[in-house]
Structure 1
Amino acid sequence: MTTSDILIRNLNAQGILRLTLNDVARRNALSEAMLAALGQAFEDAASDPAVRVIVLAANGPAFCAGHDLKEMTAGRAHKDGGKAYFAKVMSLCAGVMQGIVNCPKPVIAEVTGVATAAGCQLVASCDLAIAADTALFSTPGVHIGLFCSTPMVALSRNVADKHAMEMLLTGDMTQADRAAEIGLVNRAVAPDLLEETAMELARKIASKSSMTLATGKRAYYTQREMTLPQAYDYASGVMVENMLAQDACEGIGAFIEKRAPEWQDA
């Protein structure tokens, strides 16, 4: 199976890029090939002015089963017991997750089926997530003697500590409605409404100035790692620069004049 087969790209006229995980036989596991395909797709989208919003979806009964454990186990055959190989895969995975956060385009996860371990991490790394109400989420590493340490990074930045620790320490499945309650996903909807709900959200966001969206996304993830005074100093500077931008001038003018804005994305 080629890279283009395991990850399907489809860009519509509204600037919504659908990336669809398509390695159904392996439950869309984050194999080396899948990680490489995702990394390249987000890198390409980041610099493509035609892309305004990204929807990450999946074919098959599983959204993503996490790392390919058969592939990982095969890595143990190396002379070092797989240490260098494991480090390589973890680095690839961390790069993809950070690529989603650093991508200037908003990323929406459209989750059907099961999202486990690094698959749950993938959902948590996206800016927004809409799930089918039949979807399930878990960080089940404790069941096999492997704590979900890297999924923990994204999970702990989305849900409160006690909810994150419960998922990490028990490995239990979390129902979609509970995932929405604790903030892992925005909402859970009937499976037949999933794609349209995610696309409606994508269309709403795509109608905004891409300059404004990129500015806001970057500022959000930057300020949350700061102290409160640092965050306000930083955000104030961002607001000043944003106010000077062409689209801010246009948007404010359009609001005052009671007309639709004409974005220049600048």
Structure 2
Amino acid sequence: MPAASPAAASPACDPAEAPFVARSQEGGVATLALARPAQRNSLSEGMMAALTQALAEIADDASVRAVVLTAEGPVYSAGHDLKEIQAHRGDADRGRAYFEEVLKRCATLMTAIVRLPQPVIAAVEGMATAAGCQLVASCDLAVAGAKARFCTPGVNIGLFCHTPMVALSRNLSRKHAMEMLLLGEWTEAEDALRMGLVNRVMPEGGALAGAQTLARRIAEKSQVPVKLGKAAFYAQMELGLDDAYAYASRVMAENMLARDADEGISAVLAKRAPMWEDR
């Protein structure tokens, strides 16, 4: 793995001034690491803002063909910063305006992952809880270390995980999603694989390498079908069957007109490797 930015890597850096997210890149794969392990990589206001900004920069970066989202330390993400939330209980409206705003920012972050042109792969070691589990479910793919664990524990503290529910219900079967949401119990890596929350389970400590391997394989492909395909995948899911087929047919016809589709088909017929130009 390439070195992170100097500010993220410097041991002399003041933790209060260190970046929330460390970015590195090797070839066409950008790796974003949640970089507040002492705060359990909670999705604080600062963390959400930094991650949203990093994704916005990547969206316009033609050199990035796939993204890996990992984390430093033993906790992938503990979800929302509960201290920030409780600090607003004394507001005149008992925190309603703040709660709505912070949840809006969280939704903006999660939808930014889904709408990013490049595929995003979560690399999870340790615990991913509440909005941290939502973060994993929002990624296009996910690779977990063997001892990774997932949980939506809100129901245990009088707070149903309503917003994590959105991502979970779009990735898991209804009964699996409801099991996680209603019980608030730990889901081990192998069960997360069985339930569809993650794609692969690697030996402990191997999630990042596994995710980067998938990212490199995606980065080798023409970006025309990858970007069109990712956007179309999520768009058609919101449509009825007939409308989904009509929409997918339009997008596929557009894809067929691309230079790389012509090149790819020609390469198959000529029994040679294709030469991509991403157009």
* TM interval, short-chain normalised: over 0.9
Residues 3 and 37 of structure 1 are in contact (CA less than 8 Å); yes or no, is this contact kept in structure 2? no
**How much does 1:4 deviate?**
5.5
- Are 2:233 and 1:220 equivalent residues in the alignment? yes
Q: Which amino acid aligns with 2:187?
A: T
Alpha-carbon separation, structure 1, partners of 2:224 and 2:186: 38
Unaligned runs of 5+ in 1: none
**How much does 1:2 deviate?**
5.7
Q: Which ranges of 4 or more aligned residues in structure 1 deviate by more than 4 Å? A: 1-4
Residues 110 and 129 of structure 1 are in contact (CA less than 8 Å); yes or no, is this contact kept in structure 2? yes
- The two structures have a TM-score, normalised by structure 2, of 0.93
Alpha-carbon separation, structure 1, partners of 2:211 and 2:218: 11
The counterpart of 2:66, out of the listed 53, 59, 79, is 53
The counterpart of 1:201, out of the listed 205, 214, 222, is 214
**How much does 1:3 deviate?**
7.2
Choose between structure 1 and 2: higher helix proportion: 1
The counterpart of 2:100, out of the listed 56, 63, 87, is 87
Unaligned runs of 5+ in 2: 1-14
Secondary structure of 1:75's match?
A: coil
- Bigger mean CA deviation after superposition, 96-105 or 70-79: 70-79
Secondary structure of 1:45's match?
A: helix
- Are 2:184 and 1:171 equivalent residues in the alignment? yes
Q: 2:123 — aligned with what?
A: 110
Alpha-carbon separation, structure 1, partners of 2:78 and 2:205: 22
Q: 2:89 — aligned with what?
A: 76
- The two structures have a TM-score, normalised by structure 1, of 0.97
**How much does 1:69 deviate?**
0.2
Q: 1:158 — aligned with what?
A: 171
Count residues with an aligned counterpart: 265
**How much does 1:195 deviate?**
2.1
- Bigger mean CA deviation after superposition, 122-131 or 81-90: 81-90
- Are 2:132 and 1:125 equivalent residues in the alignment? no
Secondary structure of 1:214's match?
A: helix
Alpha-carbon separation, structure 1, partners of 2:129 and 2:171: 16
Identity %: 54
Alpha-carbon separation, structure 2, partners of 1:98 and 1:36: 13
- Are 2:108 and 1:99 equivalent residues in the alignment? no
Q: 2:9 — aligned with what?
A: none
